[in-house]
């Protein structure tokens, strides 16, 4: 993956909760819960229209069924929301999530500013123990990849609820990646075999994102996250006895 991914991942690392980083004494899924296919997602554009295909620069998102939720919320039970793109024969219930998402020959999804869509928070439940509704996903893009990063083939792309990296419910659909030397960013196109009738070919609409716009987005996102991390760190620092001296509507470029 390219330097843009590295910048986005480094920024995201500043806010990864300790529960995600811990590798030992991992709590198990609550009784009665386990990997479950909870339904499908629809690949959509930023205007909520279903997409049938696009280029690596195309902005897209995943539309979950109404009311899609994790068994618990993030605030009281530490549930997290993950994005994934895995080979079609892989089991979404067995994905191993690292700090920035799936590892190995499996891939995370990336937001417009190149931050990985990994370990995201649910909405707060009305009371502890109630399901945590999954917020609408941000605009996503494959433009963070470079040619050769993603082998051609059929993948399952979707969203999962995890409890300390262990998958419970997940929603997905299939997407086909095809090499395209004329694609300026990742070197591939994609299509959705199961797209609903009337879905739009994004390459006909011209909507996309340029590498310069991606870079601007990730730098802005990284700066904001690092600033927030500094504020949090400052609040946690013990008080000193010494006197201190005074001292998003989302827009995108159109590709030709």
Domain-wise residue ranges, the chain? 3-16+32-228
CB 143 within 8 A of CB 5: no
Using CA atoms, how far apart are residues 82 and 54, in angstroms rounded to an integer?
Answer: 23
Percentage of the residues of the chain whose pLDDT score is greater than 70: 70
Using CA atoms, how far apart are residues 109 and 142, in angstroms rounded to an integer?
Answer: 8
Q: Is the pLDDT of residue 68 over 90?
A: yes
Q: What is the pLDDT of residues 95-133, one digit of tens each?
A: 999 999 998 889 999 999 999 999 999 999 999 999 999
Work out the angle at residue 100's Cα, subtended by the Cα atoms of residues 155 and 119, and round it to the nearest 5 degrees.
95
Q: Is the pLDDT of residue 164 over 70?
A: yes
The number of beta carbons lying within 10 Å of the beta carbon of residue 252 is 20
Using CA atoms, how far apart are residues 251 and 95, in angstroms rounded to an integer?
Answer: 33
Least confident window among 36-45, 50-59, 196-205: 196-205
Q: Is the pLDDT of residue 15 over 50?
A: no
Using CA atoms, how far apart are residues 189 and 147, in angstroms rounded to an integer?
Answer: 11
Label residue 251 exposed, middle or buried (CB < 10 Å: 0-12, 13-18, 19+): exposed
Tokens representing 86?
């895995």
| Partners of residue 40 on adjacent β-strands | 172
Q: Is the pLDDT of residue 254 over 90?
A: no
Please give the pLDDT value at position 234. 45
Using CA atoms, how far apart are residues 221 and 192, in angstroms rounded to an integer?
Answer: 30
Please give the pLDDT value at position 246. 39
Rounded to 10 degrees, the C-alpha dihedral 157/159/161/162 comes to: 50
**What DSSP character marks residue 116?**
B
Q: Is 230 helix (H, G, I), strand (E, B) or coil?
A: helix
Label residue 94 exposed, middle or buried (CB < 10 Å: 0-12, 13-18, 19+): exposed
Q: Which H/E stretch holds residue 173?
A: strand 166-179
Q: Which H/E stretch holds residue 8?
A: helix 3-13
Q: What is the pLDDT of residues 242-253, one digit of tens each?
A: 433 433 444 444
- pLDDT band for position 94 (50/70/90)? very high
């Amino acid at each position: 993956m390219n330097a843009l991914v590295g910048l986005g991942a480094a920024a995201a690392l500043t806010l990864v909760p300790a529960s995600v980083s811990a590798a030992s004494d991992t709590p198990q899924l609550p009784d009665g819960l386990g990997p479950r296919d909870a339904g499908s997602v629809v690949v959509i554009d930023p205007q909520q229209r279903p997409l049938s295909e696009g280029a690596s620069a195309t902005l897209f998102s995943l539309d979950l069924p109404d009311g899609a939720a994790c068994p618990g919320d993030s605030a009281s039970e530490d549930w997290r929301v993950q994005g994934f793109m895995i080979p079609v024969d892989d089991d979404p219930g067995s994905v191993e999530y690292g700090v920035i998402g799936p590892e190995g020959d499996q891939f995370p999804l990336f937001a417009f500013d190149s931050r990985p869509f990994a370990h995201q928070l649910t909405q707060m439940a009305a009371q502890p123990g109630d399901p945590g509704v999954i917020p609408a996903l941000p605009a996503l893009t494959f433009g963070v990849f470079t040619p050769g990063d993603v082998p051609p083939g059929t993948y399952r792309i979707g969203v999962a609820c995890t409890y300390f990296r262990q998958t419970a419910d997940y929603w997905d659909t299939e997407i086909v990646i095809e090499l395209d030397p004329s694609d300026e960013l990742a070197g591939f196109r994609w299509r959705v075999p199961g797209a609903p009738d009337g879905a739009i070919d994004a390459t006909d609409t011209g909507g996309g994102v340029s590498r310069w716009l991606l870079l601007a987005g990730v730098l802005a996102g990284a700066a904001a996250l690092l600033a927030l991390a500094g504020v949090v760190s400052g609040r946690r620092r013990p008080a000193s006895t010494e006197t201190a001296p005074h001292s998003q509507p989302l827009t995108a470029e159109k590709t030709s």
